[in-house]
Amino acid sequence: MAFSTVTVFATFSLFAFAWAGTPRPLVLWHGLGDSATSPGMLRFAEEIKAVHPGIFIHSVYIDEDLDKDKSAGFYGNVNEQVQLVSEQISVIPELEDGFDAIGFSQGGQFLRAYVERYNSPPIHNLITFGSQHTGISDIPVCNPRDFICQIARRLTKSAVYGHWEQENLVQAQYFRDPANLETYYASNKFLTSINNEILGSRNETYARNLASLNKLVLVIFTEDKTVVPKESSWFGTEIVVDDELVPGGQQRVLAEERVLVPMRKQPLYQEDWIGLRELDERGGVVFAECEGQHMQINDCWEELVKEFAG
C-alpha cells in the first residue's frame, strides 16, 4: 500500500506530538521511618499520576521487604546505599533518557549525592522536601512507639563520631556539630564528601554534575523542629561565633552562641565547592516553603510537582 507525503507527515507529527506529551519519568526517595512501598508513598505516587497522567514513577528502595527497607533508613552505610540506588536506577528502561526526582527529608540529600557522584541516567529537576543538605546539629526526637528509631537515636547520641556509628548509623553520617568541626572533618565520610568540605580532596565532578541540573528546588518546612537547624533545607548552617569566657562562680565557663549562616554567605557557595553557586547564578536554585512541621506536606507539593516534575 502506498503512502502519500501528507499521510507520512501526519503520522510522524502525531507520533512526535504523543512523544512530546509524555511526562518525564519521576523517581522518589522516601524519608526516615518510611519505605518505598508504604501506604503513604503509594498514595503520593497515585496523586502525582492524577496531576501528570501517564507518568512513570519509580520509588527507590534499599530492600524490597517493607520492614527491612524502613530499617535501612536508620541502619546502614549511606555511601553504599547511594551506590546501590544508582545501580538500581541504571537498569530501568523507562529512566534511561533521564528523569525528575523528589526526595523526602534525608532522601533529598541522598538524591543529591546520586547527582554529584553518578547522575547516569541524569536528573533534570530535583525537588527536596525538608532535606538536611548541610547536616543536623541535633538528633531528631522519635515517636514514643517507634522502638527502632529510639534505639538508633540513643546509639547515635552516645558516640556520634565513633567509627562504628559513622559506618552504620544513617543519621550519624549527616550529623554536623558546629562546636566540634575538627572531629566531624576527621570522621565523617558522607556529608563531608558530598559537600566537598575537605581541602585537598574536593571532587570537581561533583560540582560539574550538580551544576548540570535544570532546577534544584529546596523546600523548607516553616515550623520544622525535627531538622536542626531547619535552614539546612536551604543550605543554611550554624557556626559558633562566641567562645568568650565569662565569670561563673570560682571558675569560668564557655559561653557558646550559634549563628545561622545562609547559603550565599558560606564558603561552600562563595568558592563553589559543589557547583551550587553556578547553578544559582543562572537561576537554577528555587527556594520554596511548606507551612507547618517537618514533612507536613499537605497540599503544598502540588504546584511544585506541576511546575518541576513530569
Domain 24-308 has CATH 3.40.630.30: no
> Mind listing the pLDDT tens digit for each residue in 223-247?
999 999 999 999 999 988 765 544 4
Task: Show the cell assigned to 61.
Answer: 528502595
What pLDDT band is residue 18 in, cutting at 50, 70 and 90? Answer: very low
pTM: 0.86
Q: Could you count the other beta carbons within 10 Å of the beta carbon of residue 239?
A: 14
Q: What is the DSSP letter of 25?
A: P
Where do the structural domains in the chain lie, given as residue ranges?
24-308
Could you tell me if 70 and 34 are in contact, meaning their C-beta atoms sit under 8 angstroms apart? yes
d(CA 189, CA 198): 10
Cite the active site residues.
105, 224, 294
Burial class (CB in 10 A: 0-12, 13-18, 19+), 250: exposed
Q: Is the dihedral of CA 199, 201, 203, 204 positive or negative?
A: positive
Residue 186 pLDDT exceeds 80: yes
Q: What is each CA distance from 263 to 5, 46, 131, 181, 272, in whole angstroms?
A: 57, 34, 14, 18, 11
> Is the per-residue pLDDT at 309 higher than 60?
yes
Average pLDDT over residues 38-64: 97
Q: How confident is the model at residue 145 (pLDDT cuts 50, 70, 90)?
A: confident
Quickly tell me which residue has 566531624 as its cell: 184
Nearest to 193 by CA among 272, 132, 273: 273
What does the DSSP 8-state code read for residue 142? P
Question: Identity (one letter) of the amino acid at 119?
Answer: N
Find out whether 127 and 102 touch, Cβ atoms under 8 Å: yes
Residue 280 has pLDDT above 90, yes or no: yes
| Residue 275 confidence (pLDDT) | 98
Strand 237-242 with 215-221, pairing: unpaired
Contacts (Cβ under 8 Å, ≥6 apart) of 307: none
Q: How many CA atoms lie within 13 A of 310 on its CB side?
A: 21
| DSSP SS3 for 287 | strand
Among the listed residues 145, 144, 212, 136, the one whose alpha carbon sits nearest the alpha carbon of residue 174: 136
How far CA 48 is from CA of 28, 55, 104, 111, 292, in Å, comes to 11, 8, 15, 19, 21
